[in-house]
Amino acid sequence: MNKKERYAAFLDHFTAVLPEAETELQYNNPYELLVAVVLSAQCTDVRINKVTPALFRDYPSPEFLASSNFDELFPYIRSVSYPNNKTKHLLGLGKMLVEDFNLEIPSSIEELQKLPGVGRKTANVVASVIYNQPTMAVDTHVFRVSKRLGLVTQTAKTPLEVEKQLVRHIPEEHIPKAHHWLILHGRYTCLARKPKCDQCDITHFCKYFDKNGV
Ligand code: SF4
């Protein structure tokens, strides 16, 4: 199977079985999604979904973050990874949204990356989920699964290289969904240490399976 056929099989399969794939983070508006994605760095969506209801109740908009302080905010997110840094990021993010962005969540990757705690991956997720832009956020699942499937070359060493290869081959209209397909497949089936190949329904176009079997 060549790369073109592999991409076609990937798109055919997931369009059929997961047409409505979306983030597992819970949010009600762009501001909440941005905060949730910042918090989710190096942490699980399950953990983030446990802390955000109280956080969003008491910090319903950027102004509330902007006028808060470390001691007030920290308790809300103490159970997520890197709570010290993330508390500082959220305080700075609220301030910047108020002072520089007129409370609007920016749509461009460049502007999003100016916000504290927002790197390229977070910016890509926000642009994709909120603005449906054809951006591909590459986290550890996307990085691993796209390589195993053979969608990107084994020589791709950085998330940016993987992102560029995926974006080059996946039609724009499928990119926001493809991001979630790769994440969900990596989270539940194509696990990092022990992929569940015996339960996987895409063995027919997986390069790793082709080479290693079950
Ligand atoms: S066959 Fe195995 S390696 Fe390939 S995608 Fe499925 S779980 Fe991952």
Residue 45 annotated in active site: no
What is the spatial distance between Cα 146 and Cα 150, in angstroms, rounded to a whole number? 6
Residue 49 is predicted with a pLDDT of 98
Q: Are 70 and 88 in contact (CB under 8 A)?
A: yes
Q: Look up the pTM and report it.
A: 0.86
For ligand 1, whether the C-beta of 204 sits within 6 Å is no
Residue 132 is predicted with a pLDDT of 86
Best mutation site among 17, 149, 207, 210 for ligand 1, i.e. most ligand atoms within 8 A of its Cβ? 149
Closest ligand 1 atom to residue 202 Cα is 6
- pLDDT reading at 121 higher than 80: yes
What is the spatial distance between Cα 80 and Cα 50, in angstroms, rounded to a whole number? 10
For ligand 1, whether the C-beta of 181 sits within 6 Å is no
Q: Are 189 and 141 in contact (CB under 8 A)?
A: no
For ligand 1, whether the C-beta of 203 sits within 6 Å is yes
For ligand 1, whether the C-beta of 152 sits within 6 Å is no
- pLDDT reading at 22 higher than 90: no
Residue type, 86: K
Mean pLDDT, the chain, rounded, equals: 95
- pLDDT reading at 21 higher than 90: no
Q: Tell me: the pLDDT tens digits for 66-96?
A: 999 999 999 999 999 999 999 999 999 999 9
Closest ligand 1 atom to residue 197 Cα is 2
Residue 89 is predicted with a pLDDT of 98
Q: How far is the CA of 10 from the centre of ligand 1 (A)?
A: 12
Residue 212 is predicted with a pLDDT of 86
- pLDDT reading at 214 higher than 80: no
Best mutation site among 1, 190, 214 for ligand 1, i.e. most ligand atoms within 8 A of its Cβ? 190
Q: What structural domains does the chain harbor?
A: 3-21+135-212 (1.10.1670.10), 30-131 (1.10.340.30)
For ligand 1, whether the C-beta of 78 sits within 6 Å is no
Torsion over CA: 159, 175, 22, 102 (sign)? positive
SS3 28: coil
Q: Which of 86, 95, 121, 147 is catalytic?
A: 121
Q: Tell me: the pLDDT tens digits for 171-200?
A: 999 998 999 999 999 999 999 999 999 999
- pLDDT reading at 119 higher than 80: yes
- Two structure tokens written together for 160: 């940016």
Q: How many C-beta neighbours within 10 Å does residue 16 have?
A: 8
Residue 73 is predicted with a pLDDT of 98
Q: Tell me: the pLDDT tens digits for 29-59?
A: 999 999 999 999 999 999 999 999 999 999 9
Residue 175 is predicted with a pLDDT of 93
